[in-house]
Amino acid sequence: MYGPSSPHRRTRAGLWLAGFTIASLLMLLASSTEPAMMLQRVTTRALDPVRQAISGAGSGVAGLFGTIGEIDRLRGENAELRDALAGAEQRIAELTEAARENTELRGLLGITDALDMELLPVRVISRDPSNFAWEVGVDAGTGDGVRPGMPVVANAEGTGALAGTVVSVTTDRARVRFVVDTRSTVVALDQASRALGEIRGQPGGQLVMSNIPVTEVVTVGDTIVSAGLSFGTAASGYPGGLLLGTVQAVEDDPNALTQTAFVRPAFDADSVERLLIVLDFTQG
């Protein structure tokens, strides 16, 4: 049994009071009397902030999902734009390469028309990685009429430059040794003074013209070409008049009888990609 002041008794009494109050309020709200209408208005105003908060929360959730959808759409568009840009860059690279190759081929065609020689266009397909052997492989061989000892021509800004000679051949490949190789020797001529000398390759891809008689005048800026003839013990297997380079400096030799000219090569052995093999020529 519960005593008069038992907590359980007080709790039950409180529940009955709360229930009675709620029921009275519901009856009052359901009626159309003035006090009921006033209570309804007060209740509505009191619940407005709650409704607005719920409505705002719903709008926020909708906005959040809308933003997520927009982000996904933008990501898709960015991916498409990146793909399109990559494709455009690839196409530009291809067109640039084609234009460069076209220019190079036109230059070689101009040289072919200018030189009275039978020339075979070839492409460089391999290089020696060292700076000691200046040799390249080209895509033509005995099947194309190529033989060891044949001269090779390069394009030097539209002018035919002596690039080197064929040193070995297979059925469909050949190896070309450039004039800048230390094992290469070419009888050369100073176009201005007509002085003769021997052009030899130097480490690093440079040229020197040695054994020039000291009595000859060789000046910085002079153009050096292949002589197309023998000079002393050096025999010429090259056509005459092919560009070799430009004199950069001249020094007297210690013997006081000869002088040496330092020559800048006419073509870039590091970057040349297409050459012309001289299959036949007539020495003038």
DSSP class of 256:
S
pLDDT digits (tens, 9 = 90+) for 42-53: 666 665 665 665
pLDDT at 84: 81
pLDDT at 26: 56
pTM: 0.64
Same domain, 130 and 254: yes
Same domain, 76 and 130: no
pLDDT at 95: 62
Last residue of a domain, one of 70, 87, 104: 87
Same domain, 148 and 253: yes
CA-CA distance, 191 to 222, in Å (whole number)?
7
Which 3 state secondary structure label does DSSP give 128? coil
Which 3 state secondary structure label does DSSP give 278? strand
Same domain, 12 and 64: yes
Q: 74-81 long-range contacts, Cβ below 8 Å, gap at least 24?
A: none
Exposed/middle/buried for residue 139 (C-beta within 10 Å: 0-12, 13-18, 19+): middle
Same domain, 252 and 148: yes
Same domain, 259 and 128: yes
Is 97 contained in some domain?
no
Domain that holds residue 62: 8-87
Of 39-43, 91-95, 255-259, the poorest mean pLDDT is in 39-43
pLDDT at 77: 82
Is 149 contained in some domain?
yes
Is 208 contained in some domain?
yes
Q: Average per-residue pLDDT in the chain?
A: 80
pLDDT at 257: 93
Same domain, 188 and 258: yes
| Domains of the chain: total | 2
CATH, residue 230 = 2.40.10.350
pLDDT at 193: 94
pLDDT at 268: 92
- Which two structure tokens, joined as six digits, stand for 161? 């430059």
Is the Cβ–Cβ distance between 268 and 105 less than 8 Å? Answer: no
pLDDT at 199: 95
pLDDT at 112: 74
Identify which of 198, 201, 168 has the alpha carbon closest to the alpha carbon of residue 184: 201
pLDDT digits (tens, 9 = 90+) for 232-272: 655 567 899 999 999 999 999 998 899 999 999 999 998 89
Is 92 contained in some domain?
no
